[in-house]
Structures are given as C-alpha cells and as structure tokens.
Structure 1
Amino acid sequence: MGTKNMWQVSEQKIEVRQLQVGMYVCRLDLPWSDTDYLLQGLKIKNRVDISKLTSYCQYVYIDVNKSSLQKTALKVSRIPPKVSANKTHNAKRKPLTFHPARDNWVKKHSVEHYAVSTQTKSEIKTALPVFNDIEHQVSKLLERMTHNRSVNIEELVDRTSDMVESIIRNPDAFAWLSRIRENRAPIYLHTVRLAVWGGIVGRQLGLNRFSLTHLTMTLLMTGIGKSLQDEYTLMKYKRERPSMEYQSHVNETIYHLSQFHFSCESILQTLQNYCERYDGSGFPAGIKGNAIPFLSRVAGLIETFELMINPYNPVKAISPANAIAKLNALKDVQFDGSLVEEFIKAVGLYPTGSLVELNNGAIGVIFTQSYEKRLRASVIPLTHDKGQRYTSFKILDLGYNAEEGESLHIKRGVASNHVPVSVLNKAHEYIFNRRQKPWSRVRDLIL
C-alpha cells in the first residue's frame, strides 16, 4: 500500500513540449512496445531525446524522484485527467493581450527546425503518387459520408503522414502539385490545398510531426461539412459576413465524424474552433484571443488565405500578395499578429504555384522559391507580353540570371484566374515528360 502511494506521488503527467534535460520519463501515452525504445524508461539527456519523443507522444509521465532537476524546475503545468492538451494550454491565457515579447506559443509549439533536403523535381516525382492517393481518398471519404456509408479514416491518416514527410523534405513539391491539378471537384481540391498549406505553414512554425499531421488532417476534415453545402451558398460566401447556412458546416462536420465513431478529441476540438477569430467575431461560439486552441488559430488563418486566392467563386480570386496585404490589416484583430508574421514567412508574397508578371510583361508561374531571396525564384514563363501562350516551356532561374547580369525579375503577383489551370498542367507535362534539362537562362527564351 505504501509503495503504491509513493509511486503516485512521484509520477507526474506533462506535455512532451514541457520536457527538460534531466527529467526521467517513466511512462508514455502509448505502450513502449509501439516505439523503438528497447527499455521502458528514459532519462532526457538532450534536445534530440525530446524531439524523438514528440514524434510518438502528446504527453508523458515523469518520475520526479528519478529526475535530476531542482524541485522548482519540476513545477511544470500538469495535465488534469480527461482534459485535452489544447484546453489546458489556453485556459490561463488572457484574450487579446498579444505582445511579441510575452506571447508564448513559440516556446510551446515551435520545437523543430526543418531544412530542405531534396531537389524540387525529384521530390515532385516522389510526392505525386502520395498526392494522387490523398485526393482519391478525400473524394471517397466525402462521397461515402454524404451517403452515410462506412469510411476508413486510418488510410487517409497514413497517407497524410507521408505528405507531411514530403513537405518537411521540400515544401515546394506539394505546393506545385496542388496548383496544377485540374479542378475536377472544387471541394475535394480545396480541402487538399488547405492540408498542403497546413503542412507548409506548420513546417515554418516548427511544429513537430505529430502536430503537423494533426493540423493537416483537421484541414482535410473541414471538407466534410462543406461538401454538404449547395453551390449557391458556397458561391455567395463572404468572409466578413458568412451566412448561417455556411456556418452550419462546422457542426455538420463534427456530427458526421461522431456518427462514424471518429474519436480523436484533439482534431475534433481543432475543427470545432477553427472558424473562431481573435477578436471574437468568428463562429460558432464567438470565443476570442488565446482561448481559441492554437492549432485552430493556425487552421483559420490558412483557410482565410486560401479562400482569398482560390475562392469558391473563382471570379473573386486575388493575388497572394494582395491576400497577404489583407491579412496584415487583420493582425491582432481577427488573427494573432505573431502567427500572421510567421505565416507570411512561410508562404511569401509569391508562393510556389502562384502566377506572376515579369518586368518584361510576360506571365509566369513560380516553380520553386529561394527562401532567402524571394524575388529570385524559379519561374516557368507561360505567356508573352502580348498574352500569346508558349507552346514549349522551360524553368527560368531568376537568381542565376541576376548573377549573370540579366535584369529579368518579378514585377507583381497575378490572381490565379488569370491563366487557366490547363496551361499550368500542360507546362508540367512538358517539363516532366521530356528528357532534356528544362532549365534556362533568359537569353535562351524568346520573350
């Protein structure tokens, strides 16, 4: 009896992100046998140990007696039973008090740094079958849920994890593929693009793999309720005043997931709150500030941006640069200012797959970005300055040409509806199905 009481006193449940060097992890939120740890128990020696645990767990149990920290250092926030991690995090945070020096989401959530490790062309070839599978599974999921048929969400989870790994290696690949896809069914492609943005933005934020998969899965699930909306409701959507019919998609999504016994509480909570806004102007509950779960804030920002550049009604599309300007105006109003700043760093003014006008009047599409010099991206010219389309395509490296003294550069962003997706698809097929090296200097192109 005494031994049991001692065990209960010495064991403390905390989030993985709260782990510190010197803590002794005695239990996980899953069996040790489901991991590659040979022994049941781990002394945290460095940040690598913490990073590895984040790929397996949301929370762990530490043994206070076996930890080599001062007792004061062990006074971290405990997670009460049956309360999700997001609720615990945000319950003590006051709404609408953002200040860069005091806001602590970076410390809690920004735990990784990812470097680009593959070339875009090779990663596109790796990512293509994953992208095709995800699009197919999303369409199947939405169709089966619409007709109240059984679904297997686990298959989608597995493929979403593969997408996350690809985006970690090189975010340009999935960004490119999501842009060139023919719009066969708007909601299907809309939800896939949301998930891709989730991976790209989450990568920039430094989310661990568990949180990245959580965020991308949440954004894919938003399509459930949206797929039940009629075309008129979607086409008339207004960000400033969404109709009551449109707002119902949140509860519809939660309802259908519950009908199929989807039990991931953290994703359900993120879905329930992703349309809430920092100033309390969102729906369905009108909560505000940091009371909104962190990943819900991220998902809401991503969806807002996507619906600006690829709205349900294509006529209303604006360029990414104009969308960024609108988001800047909403900093610390509808959106957490620090998140907006990191979002802009993630996507840039000219994201991969976006249309741009070059200073010679030609219209092109961004193929890859230089994350240090955004204006020196690689571009595929699509039309001449008079609007005539090219019949052959090459990738133009603006950074290389600048070094050679050639003055071609991006003049401005262009809305996605300026050039049909079929033209982008044609450029993709031309480049990836031809054997010669498709890179070019400015003088090689007749512009």
Structure 2
Amino acid sequence: MVGGRLHPAWIVAAVGFVALIGAAAFRSVPGVLMEPLHDEFGWSHGTIGAAVSVNVLLYGLISPFAAALMDRFGIRVVVASALLLIAAGSGLTVFMTQPWQLMATWGLLVGIGTGSMSMPFVATITGRWFVRQRGLVTGVLTAAGAAGQLVFLPLIARLAGDHGWRTPALLVAGAALVVVPLVLLFIRDFPSDVGVTAYGAEAGSVVGVRTAAVGGAGRALGVLFTVVRKPVFWLLAGGFAICGASTNGLVGTHFVSAAHDHGMPATTAAGLLALVGLFDVAGTIASGWFTDRVDSRYLLVAYFSLRGVSLLILPNLFGPDVQPSMWAFVVFYGLDWIATVPPTVALCREHFGADGPVAFGWVFASHQVGAAIAAVGAGIIRDMRGSYTLAWYIAGGLCGFAALMSASIRRKRVEPSAVDGFVRA
C-alpha cells in the first residue's frame, strides 16, 4: 500500500496479466484448428505444423529484442504494438487460401506479436516494479498464458465445430484489440514515473528508478555475446529448449490431433487441454512461491524428471473416452506445464544481473526453437508413421536429459549490496 492506496505495482501487474491472456489466446488456436484446416484445404499435418513452428520460433527469437526495445521505447509502446500485430494476423487468416498465407499470418505476424510480449515482458515488469514477492508475481504473470488457454480453448473448439474455424479467428483478433486501451491507460514503465518506489524496495533504492534510455537490437546482441561465454547459459538454454519441445511444440500443438486419432471428439480433447491450462495456473503460481524459498536448480530437476515420466506413459492413456488415468495425467501435467519459468527467471537474474531480462529473452528463444522443432517434427512423425507415439517417447527421454543439465548448474550468490535491480529478494 502507498499512503493507504493500492501500490501501483499491482495495477501494472494486473494489466500485464490481462495483456498476456490476450497474447496467449491465439497461441491456443493452432492445436484446435489443425483438423478443420486439414479437412477444408487438404493441407498435411506437417504443413500446418510448419506454420505453427514459424510462429513459435519467432515467438522466441523476437523475445530478447523486445526486452531490449522495452528499455528503449517503453513497455506500453511495445506491448500495444504487439497486440495490434496479433489482431491483424488473426483477422487476416479468414482470407487465406494457400499455405504461404498461413505462414505469413499465423506464423509471421502472430509470431512477432506474441514474441514481443512473451516471458521477457514478465521479467521486465517484475524486475522494475517488485522487490518483495518477485517470484510469486513472476509465477502469476507466467500463468496468464495458461489462463488464456483456459478461457479460449473450449470456446474456440465449440465455435469451430458450430460455425467453422473463421469465427474463432475473428474472436481472437477482437480480444487482442480490446486489451490495447488497457495497456495504454494503466501500464507505466517505471515506478519513478508515478512517484513511488518498487514494491518492497527500501528507501533510497535505485530499483524502479528511470535511467537513460538504452536498448534496441544492439543491446540484445551485446548481451547475447556476453552470456554465451558462460556455461550456465547453455545449461539453462538447453533445458528450456526441451521444455518448449515438450509443452508448446508437442502437447500444445498436437494433443488434440493425437486424441482425435484415438476416436476422442475434438471438443473433448480441447477441454482436456484447457484443464491442463487450469492446473498450470495453480502450478506456476505455486512454483513462483517455491522459487522465493527453494533452490531453483532443485525445482528444475524435479519438474523435468516428473514431466518426462508422464510423457512416457501418455501414449497408453489415449482412447475414445476419458478414463481416470487420463484425468490424472491432465492434473499432473498441468501443474508442471510451465512451472519451469519462475526458477529459470530467478537463475537468469542471479547469474546475469542487470542483463537478466534480456538474457532470459535469449534463454526463452531456445524454448521456442525447441517448440518449433517439435511442432513440425511431431507432425512429420504422424504423417510418416500414422501415430504420434514415437514423438511422446522422444520428448520423455529429452526431459530426463534436461533434468541432468539443471542439476549441473552451479549456484552463484549475489551480494545483498548489489544495486542492479535484479537482486534475489
């Protein structure tokens, strides 16, 4: 509270949550609309998966540049522009007739838009506006992606089934546009812009104080050239690439199609994926809480190990009806879906200091590279073998390798006197 009023940090975080839901909405569409697009245009799963891979690849590669641009031009400008790109890409899909148009709209425009307000956006808000409860807020904002999936997936599946796939595409475009005024009205770049300190900062702290504008492509590349010399970066990036492959790339893109292969209605499968999102909200918020209290390396080892086991079991759970074992998978996998984000953000702050958000942008880029490879790779496996089974097994084995990489990270202690704004709270 500030003078008996709600601290502005919580307003910024709340609007950021809503904005992230808007970005997440369209990312939930591809897995639901894969079959309708295949039926209408005759495009193969590999072709549609390739468009999704362009989307998720750009979603990651744009992230570090977006984090740097937020330093240069401000959070509001970057996020509002990103939402407009998402709306344009989603709305223009209703006119497409060729695969390249799917690549241009679904892949290029939406990929750039969502990448401009992805997880580095979370790191920027929490790094500038919070000292206390930073891990928890990171978890809450990260969960916004799951909340977007939760809100839109069942509705998209229902609308696609009743009115065709173009109706949900327009709905998502409209949802992104609605969020733009909220961003422009309520998000501010630094606490000092409204005359307060960051939430939980001590008097005289420089956390959240506006500094000279820096950033842009030069800074993003400069941070990359610095962090790639450190082994910890490759351990974090490698683990996060596997995280992306096993979530957005594989389950997020192909779960509905895989369930459909076993006779399950698309609306039922979409509902299950939405429930994954529901439990992900709880799991990611809990992960943020744990990140404030438990060694982040141990959390990553646990998350990756448990995820790998669940993916190895998944092929035996599919069927025309939802059995108790599938419900158990949905709950378990949902809790673990992107619980890896808060501890990874914390480790980036710990090892890279003031460059933490941009460094995390590059780590997150690896997440989307892994997701892109899995999105197209799983589609090719399905086209060649008539089944996704091999894809699930490969992803499960890779998760075990990610757990080993996380266990290899050495801890770096940051002195309490550090004033870079990214000291571990």
What TM-score comes out, normalization by structure 1 length?
Answer: 0.26
Structure having the higher strand fraction is 1
Q: Which structure ranks higher in relative contact order (CA pairs < 8 Å, sequence separation ≥ 6)?
A: 2
Larger radius of gyration: 1
The structure with the greater share of residues assigned to helix is 2
